[in-house]
Amino acid sequence: MRRDDADGNSPLSQARCEIEKTPLEGECQRPGEVRYKGMLLVCRPHAALLQLEDRAQAVLGSVFRMDEWLQENGSSEADEENLGRIRHEREGALAALRHIRVQIRSARKEVLQ
């Protein structure tokens, strides 16, 4: 499947995982196979890990926004229905976050292999 013959003069031109360009990790010796966010070329295990961390960030961001909303609106009884819905959504987001953290832990192990 690999196309080493594409410009065959240098076998070292096989692109390597570029994970060291993120603040996340050091060097990685695996070949770069996946384009992450259209920028970094990373190996599959690192791509999986980066995606999970992005998702965790996004969910965490939404929990923060919900917390802010609850702080501003939590004491007003005007909006019981919204209040209940946001609290419920927040529970769901936290559960999702716990699940993503478990996945991140196993993705990290994968990366170290």
CB of 35 to Zn ion, least distance (A): 13
Report if residue 59 touches Zn ion, rule: CB under 5 A: no
The nearer residue to Zn ion, 35 or 85, going by C-beta atoms, is 35
Size of the site for Zn ion (CB under 5 A): 6
The nearer residue to Zn ion, 42 or 100, going by C-beta atoms, is 42
Q: Dig out the tokens for 70 from the structure.
A: 């609850």
At a CB cut-off of 8 Å and minimum separation 6, what does 57 contact?
Answer: none
Report if residue 19 touches Zn ion, rule: CB under 5 A: yes
CB of 46 to Zn ion, least distance (A): 4
Considering only residues 33 to 52 of the shown chain, the ones binding Zn ion according to CB under 5 A are 43, 46
Residue from 57, 56, 45, 51 nearest 17 by CA: 45
Q: What is the DSSP string of 35-99?
A: EETTTEEE-HHHHHHHHHHHHHHHHHHHHHHHHHHHHHHTT-STTHHHHHHHHHHHHHHHHHHHH
The nearer residue to Zn ion, 62 or 103, going by C-beta atoms, is 103
Report if residue 28 touches Zn ion, rule: CB under 5 A: yes
